[in-house]
Amino acid sequence: MATITSLGVGSGLDLTGLLDQLQEAERGKLAPITLQKKQQEAKISAYGQLQTSLDAFQDAVAKINDPKLYQSLSANVRGEGITATTTASALPGSYRVEVSQLATSGTLASARVGTNDQPLDLQGATALKLNFGELGADGSVTIDIAPNSSLRDIRDAINANKESGVNATIINDGEGYRLALSSKETGVEASIYSFSFVEAAGDVVTGPFGEATEAGAKQQGQDASLTVNGIVINSAKNQIEGAIQGVTLNLAELSIEEGETATSTVNIERDTLKQREAINGFVKAFNDLKGTIGKLTAFDGESGSAAELLGDSTVRTIESRLRSVLTGGVESGELSTLNQLGISLQRDGTLEVDDAKLSDLVANNPQALSAFFAGDKKEGGLAGKLGASVEQMLGNNGVLKGAITGAENRVKSLDTRYERMEKSIEGTISRYRSQFSQLDVMIAQMNSTSSYLTQQFDALDAQLGRKK
């Protein structure tokens, strides 16, 4: 049988072009699957945008579901360099604060020695006793040291002991070396005032610095001294808690000369700005969510194009649940509906705020706002109910997660259909190619036979013509 190396060679027909047309027609069956896959992928992306908006709304709802928001106070300071912060237990009021002295750390330097890295004559001492507080106080810490320690060894032993109460360093004053100690904390009681070397038996020895009770240069630590509305207060720290209920005063930025007094006024006021920002943030987040939904479900009448989630049941469910909670309000309390707060639901489904009405409630009735939004338990107020509803919708078994999973499964199913149809098309085209090849051979053979017969008939006609 004749062999055809290229379709159409034997028959003279454009079998390759015909096969290409058939292949294009067959692959046209894949177009609906590709389109459906793109639609499902567009839905997944749209669900992702919806989830992002719901997450933002959930965060805004969580802020107004916090009872502390409606109790929050702020501290405004007028005067010199102190700052103040408040906690939930603070009460509104005005306080005159006069600071005459800051809390400082005690410092102490030893007498001078000639070397810092050679063994010192410790006269048998095996410990260093650090004394704290005022002269004659009994607060002390004992630190073990090795016999014949150098100045560096003594420094390192002090710094290695977490209970030492001081930081140790070595200072070169140009003539020799001194052991310098500074208290880790401020105030009189934490102030280092002396140190001494002690034998194993507990006896104090002179040591390398001479009489060490009042060794070297010393600066006594001191307590902060101030008055709040005329009441005298002393504090070991510059961060003072409890002088004003729920308020912490920080004096660290002050700079006071001896004999001077720094005067400030601390006003503790209700933080109405934070409450308004949180409630307006909740309204904005809801309106942003509505805007996202509107974009994802839009229909253009002129072009006839529809957004990815037009008519989607998941979106309808989410909108319906949120609307139900928003319009349902709360069952008890002075405020029961959003309208009473000056927040109204518009015809387009968005919320609008009456700033004057809301500001009045924030300033004069924060307890009613707290009861309405936060309630007396996590899901007791409107915000709690909204939060629970959104959490359910976003959960693993929620309506949105189910919609995303369903779309993802449909994409996988379409991929499988596409692969199967591609294999089917490849089989069909392979069968066409085989049939065309056979046809090409058959026509080539018929052409060859026809040519042979024509030659034979022509030869017979020539012979018959000669006989005549």
DSSP code for 341: G
Confidence (pLDDT) at 152: 95
**pLDDT tens digits, one per residue of 391-440:** 999 999 999 999 999 998 998 988 888 888 888 888 888 787 777 777 77
Distances (CA, A) of 138 to 179, 191, 214: 22, 12, 15
Q: Residue 328: in which H helix or E strand, if any? A: helix 313-328
Topology, domain 107-219: Immunoglobulin-like (2.60.40)
Q: Smallest Cα–Cα separation from 339: which of 328, 159, 395?
A: 328
- Is it the case that residue 464 has pLDDT exceeding 50? yes
The token duo for 193 is: 């005032």
Confidence (pLDDT) at 292: 95
Judged by average pLDDT, the poorest of 63-77, 108-122, 198-212, 292-306 is 198-212
DSSP string of 253-311, one letter each residue: T----TT--EEEEEEEEE-HHHHHHHHHHHHHHHHHHHHHHHHHT-B-TTT--B-TTTT
Confidence (pLDDT) at 278: 94
- Sort strands 262-270 and 93-101 into parallel, antiparallel or unpaired: antiparallel
What CATH number has the domain spanning 1-72+271-468? 1.20.1330
Domain locations in the chain as residue ranges? 1-72+271-468, 73-103+224-270, 107-219
The token duo for 166 is: 């001081």
Could you tell me if residue 139 is left (phi over 0), alpha (psi between -120 and 50 degrees) or otherwise beta? beta
Mean pLDDT across 177-202: 91
Confidence (pLDDT) at 104: 93
CB neighbourhood size of 305 (10 A): 10
CA distance 189 to 220: 10
- Is it the case that residue 184 has pLDDT exceeding 50? yes
User: Ranked by mean pLDDT, which of 117-121, 167-171, 194-198, 401-405 comes out on top?
Assistant: 167-171
Mean pLDDT across 21-32: 80
CA distance 413 to 357: 55
- Is it the case that residue 5 has pLDDT exceeding 70? no
More confident site: 189 or 16: 189
Mean pLDDT across 376-388: 85
> What pTM did the predictor assign?
0.60
- Is it the case that residue 38 has pLDDT exceeding 50? yes
Mean pLDDT across 29-44: 86
Confidence (pLDDT) at 214: 45
Angle between helix axes 313-328 and 382-394 (nearest 10 degrees) is 170
Confidence (pLDDT) at 425: 82
Residues facing residue 204 across a β-bridge: 198
Confidence (pLDDT) at 136: 53
**pLDDT tens digits, one per residue of 111-144:** 889 899 999 988 889 999 999 987 555 688 999 9
Q: Residue 441: in which H helix or E strand, if any? A: helix 399-467
- Is it the case that residue 213 has pLDDT exceeding 50? no
**pLDDT tens digits, one per residue of 304-340:** 888 889 989 999 999 999 999 999 888 877 899 999 9
- Is it the case that residue 96 has pLDDT exceeding 70? yes
Angle between helix axes 31-64 and 313-328 (nearest 10 degrees) is 20
- Is it the case that residue 294 has pLDDT exceeding 90? yes
DSSP string of 19-75, one letter each residue: HHHHHHHHHGGGHHHHHHHHHHHHHHHHHHHHHHHHHHHHHHHHHHT-GGGGG-EEE
Mean pLDDT across 161-185: 94
- Is it the case that residue 239 has pLDDT exceeding 90? yes
Cα angle 106-193-155, degrees, rounded to a multiple of 5: 80
The position carrying tokens 């309204």 is: 283
CA distance 328 to 356: 24
DSSP code for 184: S
The position carrying tokens 């002295």 is: 101
Q: pLDDT tier at 193 (50, 70, 90 boundaries)?
A: confident
Residues 6+ apart with CB under 8 A from 462: none
- Is it the case that residue 2 has pLDDT exceeding 60? no
Q: What are phi and psi of 274, to 5 degrees?
A: -65, -40
CA distance 212 to 170: 17
The arrangement of strands across the sheet holding 166-172 comes to 166-172, 177-183, 107-109, 218-219
- Is it the case that residue 88 has pLDDT exceeding 80? no
Residue type, 350: T
Q: pLDDT tier at 378 (50, 70, 90 boundaries)?
A: low
Confidence (pLDDT) at 7: 63
351 contacts 286 by C-beta, under 8 angstroms:
yes
The token duo for 103 is: 């809390």
CA distance 99 to 70: 32
Confidence (pLDDT) at 1: 43
